[in-house]
């Protein structure tokens, strides 16, 4: 059911409503603040974020490449004969 608004109530509540609208409008950031925030994002935050992700990907790539190299070295050492760490040594068995 629609609510009936009397002219007396509308006129007396108008100042309170206007005060609420004014306070909300005053709390909004100005165009200077908005431009400063956008400039900060474009100049500092986004490049730093890109550099962070690039470093993360490069670090991950280094660990993957070194892991594959270690796996290949281990596979090659299994194929080659074991030397047990002895060089230029004569082993005499009694």
44 versus 18: the higher-pLDDT residue is: 44
pLDDT digits (tens, 9 = 90+) for 19-40: 887 787 788 788 888 888 899 9
Q: Dump the DSSP string for 31-79.
A: HHHHHHHHHHIIIIIHHHHHHHHHHHHHHHHHHHHHHHHHHHHHHHHHH
CA 90 to chain centre: 61
> What gap in Å lies between CA 24 and CA 18, rounded to an integer?
10
Is residue 3 over pLDDT 80?
Answer: no
**Mean pLDDT, range 57-78, rounded to an integer:** 95
pLDDT > 90: what percent of the chain?
A: 36
Q: What is the pTM of this model?
A: 0.50
């Amino acid at each position: 059911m629609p609510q009936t608004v009397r002219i007396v109530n509308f006129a007396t509540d108008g100042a309170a409503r206007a005060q609420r609208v004014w306070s909300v409008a005053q709390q909004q950031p100005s165009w200077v603040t908005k431009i400063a925030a956008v400039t900060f994002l474009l100049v500092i935050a986004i490049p730093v974020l890109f550099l962070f992700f690039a470093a993360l990907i490069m670090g991950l790539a280094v660990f993957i490449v070194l892991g594959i190299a270690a796996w290949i070295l281990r596979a090659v050492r299994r194929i080659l004969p074991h030397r047990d760490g002895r060089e230029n040594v004569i082993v005499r068995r009694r």
